Amino acid sequence: MPRFANHTSDLALAKNVATYVLMADGIPIIYQGQEQHFSGGTNPFTNREPLWETGFNVFAPLYQHISSLNTLRQHTMTLDSNYTTAQSSVLHQDKSTLIMAKGGAGKQIIAVFTNAGEGATSGTWDLDVSSLNYPASTSQLTEVLTCTNYTISPSHTVSFPMTGGEPRILYPASLLAGSSLCGEGGRMFNDKVTNQTVTATTFTTTVGSAPTVMVASVTVPIGEAEQTGGAASATGSSSAVRRVALGSSSSSWTGPAGTFAVLVMCGMGMSLLVR
């Protein structure tokens, strides 16, 4: 089967697809390379591109997009034990827009999807959220992908812009503490990523009947602490590397070496199950 990006290079549409996979009901599954916006087809069969050719780029737009959504999903599950089993409700649906809410009363994630694409005309949505029963203490919703707050009006509506065909994810601002998203502290992204380095490893493997030398590389983010000679070291057990490269995984592997090993193993598989 050709990859989605083989049909269209529109990054906004790709973000909407990934957002639906992660925010809708069920278990999210990301096809390896989707986060790198691979575009392989089936004539010839090029839909299984190797990840190491991209350097496992953790700065790729879709990688960052998926990482943020997965972080929110896991954070929400710590606050709402019924999140994964709660059935999504449709708040609005038309030919180009789908708006859904998922989660327990007052804790829902609102996901806004559009098929308009990158060339979409900008506009503003006025969304009625009265059916979601947000408590009085929830006066603002944070659009997690842009880290922008929007106030819920006395009539229980929230207005937010739609630009460039991008999806929108709204979540109670008061519940973001400790999520590591939008500067709210937590395990991920506490260090400002200011640079990157590429780590390469050469190894010999057998292709057919002949030994072949291959080089695999990985793009490793360097946090602000490493740049300024802080306590964390880019060549040691860097928490900044673990947070950015592995998302909010609870894996005990840290630092470039562990990160490289995890990414190589993921690259060998065909699909990644997002917890």
d(CA 152, CA 140): 6
Between strands 29-31 and 89-93, the pairing is unpaired
d(CA 256, CA 235): 7
Percent of the chain with pLDDT over 70: 67
Beta-bridge partner residues of 195 = 222
Helix axes 11-23, 61-79, angle to 10 degrees: 20
Q: How confident is the model at residue 195 (pLDDT cuts 50, 70, 90)?
A: low
Q: Indicate if the pLDDT at residue 71 is higher than 80.
A: yes
Between strands 97-102 and 89-93, the pairing is antiparallel
Q: Indicate if the pLDDT at residue 227 is higher than 60.
A: no
Average pLDDT over residues 54-74: 89
Percent of the chain with pLDDT over 90: 48
| pLDDT, tens digit, 9 for 90 and up, residues 101-149 | 999 999 999 999 999 999 999 999 999 999 999 998 899 999 999 999 9
Domain borders along the chain are: 80-182
d(CA 172, CA 155): 17
pTM here is 0.70
Where does 80-182 sit in CATH, by number? 2.60.40.1180
Rg of the chain (C-alpha set): 20
Residue-level pLDDT at 187: 52
Average pLDDT over residues 49-75: 87
d(CA 254, CA 238): 7
Q: Which of the residue ranges 22-31, 94-103, 195-204, 219-228 would you say has the lowest mean pLDDT? A: 219-228
Beta strands in the chain (DSSP E): 29-31, 89-93, 97-102, 109-114, 123-128, 140-143, 148-151, 157-162, 168-172, 193-207, 210-223, 271-273
